[in-house]
Amino acid sequence: MQETTNTAEITRLPRALSCIQPTGTPTLGNYLGALRNWVAMQDSFECFFAVADLHAITVRQEPAKLRQQTREMFALLMAIGLDPEKSLLFVQSQVPEHAQLSWILSCHTQFGELSRMTQFKDKSAKHADNINAGLFTYPALMAADILLYQPQYVPVGEDQKQHCELTRDLAQRFNNLYANTFVVPEPYIMKTGARVRSLQEPLKKMSKSDENQNAFISLKDDTDTILRKFRRAVTDSEAKVRYAEGKDGINNLMEIYGAITEKTMDEIEQEFDGRGYGDFKTAVGEAVAAELAPIQARFAELMKDKAQLDALMKQGAENASRVAGRTLGKAMKKLGFVQV
Ligand code: TRP
């Protein structure tokens, strides 16, 4: 009887990859809608998570700020619970294979395909004075980020679905033109993610670029700020905590509270039966502050030791480069580049 079965082979988990740009501090919406799910995925997927700093320069960045924000985002990913022992965490620009495969993929992407990307249309309208080629070819870089690691799943929000579809098309195109090289990945739209909305205009998504600071909770907001922002959140005049159509402000607060306490809407209605909005808002604020406090403490701890942080990045980049290098080498060979 053969006893030496390779357990690593048998227990191999499906792979997942996602990236986040280091532009500004994520909001409670980013956390409850996406980042927290990344943490949960670590046990059932072999995960790759990157800070997409190459993507960030498609709009003008200030060098010192980009440097700071990249370190902060890397630290924040660990602070929320992404564990470098379980997942591969890295910074995109430290793995040169991304830029290399991106060139190859951009030569297989049509002008028409890129022109149809809604994010390009939005961003070029917003930055009309800097519609650079990188902004246009951004989806080819994103496809490279993904395809280099051969993941089956790409956890993303709705707004990135179109880029994931293009990634699938590019993988299939390359595989058909040359030889089977890339896994064709699927977007993994997170069902459990809460859809957190603006605290001031609850029909809009919560956004870190909102001009009204009271509209969003930043993961860096301290307890007082959090409590104050929830106290000022827009509600309605019914003064009854119940989940119903037209009560967008209260619905949003209930969803936030539910996402953190794991209570259902019914349970929340019961808990606040006969109590006013003031009580409810305080409870939501306190729950959010309690969830964020330990994250903020770990973040502060990680940011104190820059040498250790950079060493973790370096390790991540080396490990990522090993995986990415294998895929890139295969693609270059299939394409007809001379390998010496
Ligand atoms: N484009 C994504 C965003 O703006 C970030 C990103 C870059 C990404 N590369 C990726 C997401 C690869 C998933 C997979 O949110």
Looking at domain 13-194+306-335, its CATH superfamily turns out to be: HUPs (3.40.50.620)
pTM listed for this prediction: 0.93
pLDDT value, residue 190? 73
pLDDT value, residue 157? 86
Distance CA 338, CA 340 (A): 6
Q: Is 123 a catalytic residue?
A: yes
The CA R_g of the chain, rounded to the nearest whole Å, is: 22
> What CATH fold (topology level) applies to the domain 213-300?
Tyrosyl-Transfer RNA Synthetase (1.10.240)
Angle at 298 between CA 297 and CA 303, to 5 degrees: 100
Backbone φ and ψ of 236, nearest 5°: -150, -175
Pocket test for ligand 1, best of 15, 90, 126, 160 (most atoms within 8 A of CB): 160
pLDDT value, residue 5? 45
Distance CA 94, CA 169 (A): 27
Distance CA 281, CA 288 (A): 11
Contact 251, 242 (CB under 8 A): no
Ranges in the chain annotated CATH 1.10.240.10: 213-300
What is the position in ligand 1's atom list of the atom closest to the CA of 55?
Answer: 7
pLDDT value, residue 8? 47
Distance 172 CA to ligand 1 centre (A): 20
Distance CA 89, CA 111 (A): 32
pLDDT value, residue 191? 66
Which of 86, 208, 220, 334 does the annotation list as catalytic?
208
Q: Is 208 a catalytic residue?
A: yes
User: Strand pairing partners for 187?
Assistant: 154
Distance CA 328, CA 118 (A): 28
What is the position in ligand 1's atom list of the atom closest to the CA of 155?
Answer: 13
Question: 118-126 vs 161-177: helix axis angle to the nearest 10?
Answer: 120
Q: Is 126 a catalytic residue?
A: no
What stretches of 86-197 show up as alpha helix (H) in DSSP? Answer: 97-106, 111-115, 118-126, 133-147, 161-177
Distance 20 CA to ligand 1 centre (A): 6
Contact 13, 44 (CB under 8 A): yes
Ranges in the chain annotated CATH 3.40.50.620: 13-194+306-335
Mean pLDDT by 10 residues, the chain (340 residues): 46 93 95 94 97 97 97 98 97 98 98 97 93 97 98 93 97 98 92 84 94 97 98 95 96 96 96 96 98 98 98 98 98 97
